[in-house]
Amino acid sequence: MNRRNHLFFSILFIFFFIKIFNILYYIDLWHLIFFSLISCLLPDIDHKKSFLRNNFFFLSWFIFFSHRKITHSLFLLVILFLILFYLNYLNINLNLDIITGTIIGYLSHIIADMFTFRGIYFFWPLNIKVRFPLWFIFYNKVFIYIFCILFFFLLLFF
């Protein structure tokens, strides 16, 4: 998937979380969207054509892993979660908006890449590739938008 598809899927994922968990009572929507859109691009920092890698090179100088391995794994998602809560524990004053938006954006990227033909190594360092059986829908860009729009209307009306 490209950057535009990940941003689109991240916004859809935000509305899914809002609908399912009813989180707008204690989280600001605009902060949630902002941090989710930034963090949905983080897992691709190990890709040579990544937007973040090319524009913010200081974020990726240490990345030497192959694409869709550690950055698309449950391991790094848990590490990111622990780092954010540890910074909150140290009174760095991370709001719940920042933590929730970052986790939602990162998770939306990982789930979106599970819908691709190549899949991801979700249980890295184990060499087990995970992909959803509907990967052929996301092989075509038109189907991506149709699927996301239908899912969005499903969330609106149910």
Q: How far apart are CA 102 and CA 98, in angstroms?
A: 6
Categorize the per-residue pLDDT at 2 as very low, low, confident or very high, splitting at 50, 70 and 90.
confident
Predicted TM-score of the model (pTM): 0.77
Q: Which of 62, 89, 76 is nearest to 123 (CA)?
A: 76
Query: What pLDDT does residue 140 have?
Result: 63
Query: What pLDDT does residue 4 have?
Result: 78
Query: What pLDDT does residue 85 have?
Result: 84
Burial of 48 (0-12, 13-18, 19+ CB in 10 A): exposed
Q: What does the pLDDT look like over 110-127, one tens digit per residue?
A: 888 888 877 888 888 888
Q: Which of 53-62, 121-130, 137-146 has the lowest mean pLDDT?
A: 53-62
Q: What does the pLDDT look like over 60-72, one tens digit per residue?
A: 555 656 666 778 8
Helix 96-114 to helix 74-89 angle (10° resolution) is: 180
Q: What does the pLDDT look like over 4-44, one tens digit per residue?
A: 788 888 888 888 888 788 777 777 888 888 989 888 888 77
Asked if residues 45 and 53 have their Cβ atoms less than 8 Å apart, the reply is yes
Q: Which of 80-94, 107-121, 127-141 has the lowest mean pLDDT?
A: 127-141
Q: Determine the longest span between alpha carbons in the chain, in angstroms.
A: 46
How far is residue 24 CA from its own chain's centroid?
19
